[in-house]
Amino acid sequence: MPVVAHPKLPSLARLEQEGVVLSTATGTDFPKELHVGLLNLMPDAALQATERQFIRLLASDAQILVHVYPTTVAAVTRSKVTMEYIAQHYNEIGDFFKLALDGLIISGAYPSRLDMSEEPFWKPLIDVVEWAEEYTNSVLCSCLATHALIKHYFDVDRERRPEKSWGVFSHRLLNPTHPLTEGLQEGFMGPHSHYYDLSREKIEGTELEILAEHDEAGFFVATTTDTKLVFCQGHPEYDDQTLLKEYKREINNYMSGTRPDYPPLPANYFSKDAMQTLQDIQQQVTPGGSSLQLPEEKLLEQMEVKWQDSGKILYKNWLKILLQKQHSAT
């Protein structure tokens, strides 16, 4: 399951040990090769984890060597340490625009404005997407990037949900024979983590096709008819511990006073034993307390819901679409 990052990313060292990532980029043993950009808009704390999550999914087809080219935009606020990391290990955006890419992945981002067009990263994001529309064969968007680009291309604004869509949900396949969903099982599981949603009625008024959805959590994946734009509102890239780390962050926000209420548990994520453990911990938590330490390893061992196989199927299908488009262009 080979992936090569250009430049080499130090955060991927453990994936090299698993055979997911190659340290060299010869490509001589692989008849099929793809070049995929990764626009990483995530904040510092999640930057490297996001690299690993997407690269794991790009390693879904053992027959394809995927070259990954990470970049970001200067509008995202960064610490000095992270800026140095990016300067050393990411493609500068001007150089990125000179690459010949088959596809582009755009990560989610941390929202800071109600109107996304007022986000600091909005203009640089649109510049990248409009370049990719002309020079790549498909753009796959995650979470907030999905909301941003559906607003940009289809003038559909996201809406604040009464409660956050948060947890792991079973999805209904609306088009199981579509090239993106082929091989997914009815009721496949997948994570969601978003305060905002896109109205199904408004989406149906565009050329977009919703391929999989959950009645309460919202749509998981949608696409244009030509698969030029693929929109994931769900998070197939999440690893086992991502929702746990989000939950821990929200508890610490409650303790520090930046969140007014104690956070609910992510839906369908923890086992009954894990939920009992966390309920016991909740009784000991008070606002103003010190940073919370959770028994993360024990909690992860008690997880009962898995979704990674479904994520790999979705991304493997996307890679196949990129190959088909690549061959059609030659």
Give the catalytic positions in this structure: 143, 235, 237
Three-state SS annotation for 131-164: HHHHHCCEEEEECHHHHHHHHHHHCCCCEEEEEE
CA–CA separation, 22 and 161 (whole Å): 42
The structure tokens listed for 283 are 């009784």
**Nearest by Cα to 221 from 268, 171, 261:** 171
CA–CA separation, 248 and 40 (whole Å): 23
Q: Name the DSSP letter for residue 254.
A: H
List, in order, residues 6 or more apart from 19 with CB less than 8 Å away.
1, 2
State the CB neighbour count (10 A cutoff) for residue 99: 16
Strands (E), 158-305: 159-170, 172-173, 189-197, 209-214, 218-223, 229-232
**Could you write out the DSSP letters of every residue in 6-73?**
SSPPGGGHHHHHTTSB-S----TT-SEEEEEEEEEE--HHHHHHHHHHHHHHHT--TTEEEEEEEE--
